[in-house]
Structure 1
Amino acid sequence: MDHGTRFVIVLATATSVYFFFVLQDGYNCVSNRKIKGFLPIRQVTAKYSTQSVIQNNLYGCTVRMPDKSLLPDNIKEGKTNRKERHLSFPTDYKKSVVEIINPQKYYNICDNIAIRIQARGANGSMKAYGGDYFRIKLFTEKPGYSAVGPDYFFDYENGTYVALFTLRWTGTVRVYAKLVHPSEAVEILNRTTEGSASKVFTFYGEFKTQASDGKNHSEIVICGVAPFEPPMCNVSASQTHGPWFCMYPKNKKLSCKDWTTISMNPNSGKQLQGTLSTQELAVFRRTKVHLNTTLLPSIEVRGTPPNETNLPNCNLPAVPPTIQTNGYFYNNSWRPLNCRVNHFEDDDIGTCLQGKSIHIYGDSTGRQMYDYLQASSRCVSSQNHPYMKSCEKDNLSMQFRFHGPPVRGRQVIPVKTLRYVAEQIDDLEGGPEVIIIFSIWAHFGVPDGTFYRDRLQAIKGAVGRLWQRSPETKVIVRSANTREHSIGGFILISSDWIALQGEKTLRDVFSQDKRFSFLDVWDMTLVQQSKDAIHPLKPTIVQVMDYLLTMICL
C-alpha cells in the first residue's frame, strides 16, 4: 500500500454498523470495533471509537471521529433512568459549565475542536443522568455572520455532553450554547407525544343546516383526533389517514353530514397545562436559555477560507435518513458542504420559474414559501385565501393548499377548504415541469408519532401513484424549522423538541424512496443569526429560497 493511502471499509447489518480502518501516515492499523452512533447525527449516545475516521468532502475539510485526547475514555458513562429524574433539581443553565477540551493558542482551517457541557443542578451538583436538550454552535459576527453546528453531539447519559466541530472559516470564533429543555422537561414532553394530550387538546366543529321550513340550525361541538363516547360523528378520511371525530350535535335537526367549519378550542392550552402538576410546570418556565460562555478562551483560526467556486451548483438531494450538519453560514450566506447556492433577485426568480407548475401543500411555513415566490415572480393572484392560494403569469402557475385537520389557529375554517393532501395528489396531473413541495409538520405535535407517520405514509402512497402516471414529476420535502417557544400549555405541543421528533419521523418515511428530494431548513435554523420563529425571518428565508431555487433552476 502506498504511503498516505487510506481505506475505510464499512459493513452494515440491520442493527449495527462496523468500521474497519487502515490508516497510514503514522497511524497504526486498527481492527474492527463496533461503534454506536457513528453517523453524524445531531445527538447520539456516547459509544465511540477512539481512532479517527477521515471523510473528505469537496472543501477539503474532514469530518472525523474524536481521538482519545478529545473524548477521553476516563469519563464514566451513565445510563438514563426515568425513575431517577428529580423534578426538584432540574438542570440549571446558570450552574452548568461549558469548556473547550482541547484549547490551543491558534487553530487552522479544518481543525477539530471539542466543547464539553457539564450539566448541573441549581445547587451546583453534577447531574447523574443525561437527556437534556442542548443546542450549541460556533459563530462569528463580523465582517459577516458565520456559524456552524457540531458534526457530532455525544450524550454520556451522566450529565456530560461533548460536541465536536470542524473549524470552517478564519478569525475569532466564539461558542454559543443554550439549554432548550432540561431532561426533566423532555421526560414530560415524551409523555405528551406518547398520546396523553390527544383527548385534551381539542377543536371546535360547527354543524349547520337549513330545514325544509327555511329555518337555519347550527351547533358548535367538540372535535378532535381521538374518538368520543358514543353517540359521536366519525368524519374521518380513512383512505388518507385523516382520523377526525366530533361529538354528536344535540339539535335533532342536525346530523353528521352537516359538519361545516373547524377551529381550535382556545381553552385547549389551559386544559393541557392542567394535566401537569405545579412542580412539572416549573421546569417549563424558562426555555432556550443561554449558558455562560463568556469566560472561554478565544478561538483564533488561521488559514485560507474555502473557495466554493469549485463546487457544483446544488441539485435535488435525496431525503437523508438521519439529522446531521450539512452546511454552515459564511459571511451571511448559507453554504452546504458539497455544493454551491446561488442568490436570486426578483427578475432571476421570474426567469427561473418560467414554464413551471408549482404546487405547495402543507401548513403556513409552506404558505410563506408560496408568498415569497408569488411576490418575487410577480405572479398574478387568482385566489388569495389563507388556506387556498393560486396565481398565474404567462406560462407560470403556482398554488398553495393547506393540509387537512388538525389545523391550529383561531380562524374559523370552512371544512371544504381543507382537503387532505393525499386526496389532492390523487387528482393532480404531473409532468417534467411540475414541482410539488411538501411542508407538513407544524400542526402535528399531537397526539403521537404514529399519527404523523401514518399521515405521511398516506401522502407517500399518493405520490407513488402519481409517479406511475407521471414519473418525471419532481417532489421536494421541506424539513421542519426551529420556532419561538410560548409559555404555558401550548409549549407541550409546539416545542422544538417535539418538532425534532417529528423531523426524525419525516426523514425516516421519505428517505426510503430516493425519488423524494429534500430541502433542509432544520440545519439552517439551528445556527441562524435571526431569532427562532415559526416563519423564519427575512435573512433566513432568503437563504432558504435561494437554496430551493438553485436546486430547481440551475
Structure 2
Amino acid sequence: MRFAGKNFFLLLCCLAFMAGFIYRNLPMESLDHFYLSPPNKSSDSHWVDNNLTNQGSEEFADLLKLIDWPSPPSSITDFSLSTNPKECRYELLSPRSIYRAGETLEVLIMAKDHYGNIKSYGGDFFQAKLHSPVIKAGVTGRVTDLNNGTYLATFLLPWEGEAQVNIRLIHSSEAVSVLKDKRESHPEKVYFNGYFHFNGSTEEKECNIELPGQDVCNYNEPVSGDTWQCLKPQKMPCHSLVYHSMGGYRRVTNSLEDSLLSGSVTAQNINGAFTSIKIDPAINSTALPGFLCLSLLPNLYYPAPSTTYLL
C-alpha cells in the first residue's frame, strides 16, 4: 500500500509539471483571439445592448430599476434653490412619551433650499442612523422619499437605554442629477492608457468602455459580455494589447455643478428638534441582553434596512 501511494504521488507531480509546461508555452495569439471581438462589430453602438444576452439584458434592467433615482422636475440655474443642509430639519413623527425595545421610531425629514423654503420635490440623498455611544452599537434607518420635499426615516429600536439620531444630507437632489448625467453622458471622464507591444515596439493609446468614432479596437469579455475599447495603434494590430493602466480624470462639470458637489453641502449633518430618546425594556420580555433577540418576538414588524443608506 505504501508503494502504491508513492507511485500515485509521483504521477500527480508529473501531471502537474506537464500542465504547467503546456500553459507556459501556449502562444499569445490564442489568448488574444479569445478577447478580441469580431471585425464586423459596430464600434459606436451601445455596449450594454450589443453584448448582453436577452436574459442578461433583463437582469441588467432589473438592476437599473433598483438604483433608479428621481430627478428634479427641471434643471436649476440658481445654486440657492438647491437643498441646503444648514436649513434642513428633522423631527419625531407622532412622538410618544415611552419608547420600548422592539418598537419602531419614525422621523420626518424636511429638505429646504438656501432661502429656507421647503422643497416641492424629492430626490435628495439622506443617510439616517440610530446609534448608542455607550454600548457602541448602531442601526441604519430606512429612508422613504415622499416626493414633496419631505422624507420618512424608520428605525428599529433594538436595545434599551439612550439612542441618538443622526441624519446627514449626502447629496442634494440637484447634485444627484449632476452625478447621474455625468455618469451616463460622459463615460470618458475617467480614462485609461492601453499599451501595445509588437515586434519590439510599443505604442500607448487611450482606452475606455466606449470611445467615439470607428477607428478603435474592440475587446469582448466572453462571460459577462462587457466590452473594452482602445484607439487603434498606427503600426500595430489590435491583438498586440498587453495591459492598461489608469490615465486620469477629465473635467466635465461647470462652476454651478462644482458648487452643487462642493464639500460645504456634501455629507453634512442636519439639525433636528431632538437629538436622542430613551428606550425602555420591551413589555413581553424580561432581561433582554444588549441587543434584542428577534427570535423572541416572531410577530415583530422589522423594517428592512435600505442598502442605500449605510453606516
TM-score class, shorter-chain normalisation, is 0.5 to 0.7
Distance 1:149 1:237, change over 3 A: closer
CA offsets, 1:529-552, max 9 Å, x none? xxxxxxxxxxxxxxxxxxxxxxxx
CA offsets, 1:360-401, max 9 Å, x none? xxxxxxxxxxxxxxxxxxxxxxxxxxxxxxxxxxxxxxxxxx
- Partners in 2 of 1:224 and 1:277 — Cα distance? 23
Query: Which position in structure 1 is the counterpart of 2:269?
Result: 290
Letter of the structure 2 residue corresponding to residue 196 of structure 1 = S
Q: Quote how far apart the aligned CAs of 1:278 are.
A: 0.6
- Partners in 1 of 2:191 and 2:198 — Cα distance? 23
Structure number with greater CO (CA < 8 Å, separation at least 6) is 2
Query: Which position in structure 1 is the counterpart of 2:73?
Result: 82
State which of 201, 217, 220 in structure 1 corresponds to 2:204: 220
Which has the higher Rg, Structure 1 or Structure 2?
2
Q: Quote how far apart the aligned CAs of 1:86 are.
A: 5.5
- Partners in 2 of 1:224 and 1:186 — Cα distance? 24
State which of 301, 304, 329 in structure 1 corresponds to 2:279: 301
Report whether the alignment pairs 1:277 with 2:254: yes
Query: Which position in structure 2 is the counterpart of 1:175?
Result: 165
Paired residue secondary structure (2:144): strand
- Partners in 2 of 1:43 and 1:134 — Cα distance? 15
Letter of the structure 1 residue corresponding to residue 288 of structure 2 = P
Report whether the alignment pairs 1:136 with 2:157: no
Paired residue secondary structure (1:244): strand
Query: Which position in structure 2 is the counterpart of 1:154?
Result: 144
- Partners in 1 of 2:68 and 2:102 — Cα distance? 23
- Partners in 1 of 2:280 and 2:208 — Cα distance? 57
Report whether the alignment pairs 1:255 with 2:237: yes
Letter of the structure 1 residue corresponding to residue 261 of structure 2 = F
Distance 1:188 1:242, change over 3 A: same
* Structure 1 segment 100-139 matched on structure 2, within 5 A: 100-139=92-131
CA offsets, 1:29-49, max 9 Å, x none? xxxxxxxxxxxxx9999xxxx
Paired residue secondary structure (2:220): coil
Query: Which position in structure 1 is the counterpart of 2:304?
Result: 324
Query: In percent, how many aligned pairs have the same letter?
Result: 25
CA offsets, 1:248-294, max 9 Å, x none? 112x2x2212101111112x2xx1xx32221011111022111124x
Which stretches in structure 1 are left out of the alignment for 5+ residues? 1-41, 46-78, 211-215, 313-322, 327-480, 482-499, 501-522, 528-554
- Partners in 1 of 2:90 and 2:205 — Cα distance? 51
Q: Quote how far apart the aligned CAs of 1:173 are.
A: 0.9
CA offsets, 1:506-536, max 9 Å, x none? xxxxxxxxxxxxxxxxx7xx13xxxxxxxxx
CA offsets, 1:66-111, max 9 Å, x none? xxxxxxxxxxxxx965316555221111110111123334311122
- Partners in 1 of 2:67 and 2:130 — Cα distance? 16
Paired residue secondary structure (1:240): coil
- Partners in 1 of 2:114 and 2:212 — Cα distance? 43
Query: Which position in structure 2 is the counterpart of 1:235?
Result: 219
Letter of the structure 2 residue corresponding to residue 218 of structure 1 = T
Paired residue secondary structure (1:82): coil
Paired residue secondary structure (1:190): helix
Paired residue secondary structure (1:265): strand
CA offsets, 1:417-436, max 9 Å, x none? xxxxxxxxxxxxxxxxxxxx
TM-score by length of 1: 0.38
- Partners in 2 of 1:128 and 1:102 — Cα distance? 23
- Partners in 2 of 1:96 and 1:289 — Cα distance? 10
Q: Quote how far apart the aligned CAs of 1:231 are.
A: 2.5
Contact 2:216 2:229 in 1 (8 A): yes
Contact 2:194 2:244 in 1 (8 A): yes
Q: Quote how far apart the aligned CAs of 1:298 are.
A: 3.5
Query: Which position in structure 2 is the counterpart of 1:164?
Result: 154
CA offsets, 1:463-511, max 9 Å, x none? xxxxxxxxxxxxxxxxxx8xxxxxxxxxxxxxxxxxx5xxxxxxxxxxx
Q: Quote how far apart the aligned CAs of 1:297 are.
A: 5.6
- Partners in 1 of 2:205 and 2:106 — Cα distance? 55
CA offsets, 1:343-372, max 9 Å, x none? xxxxxxxxxxxxxxxxxxxxxxxxxxxxxx
- Partners in 2 of 1:100 and 1:43 — Cα distance? 28
Give aligned pairs, total: 231
Query: Which position in structure 1 is the counterpart of 2:191?
Result: 202
State which of 265, 271, 275 in structure 1 corresponds to 2:247: 265
* RMSD of aligned alpha carbons: 3.0
Letter of the structure 1 residue corresponding to residue 185 of structure 2 = S
Distance 1:87 1:134, change over 3 A: farther
Distance 1:111 1:43, change over 3 A: farther
Contact 1:86 1:184 in 2 (8 A): no
CA offsets, 1:163-183, max 9 Å, x none? 122211111111001001000
CA offsets, 1:177-215, max 9 Å, x none? 10010000111122133x2122332210000123xxxxx
- Partners in 2 of 1:81 and 1:309 — Cα distance? 42
Q: Quote how far apart the aligned CAs of 1:146 are.
A: 1.4
- Partners in 2 of 1:239 and 1:165 — Cα distance? 41
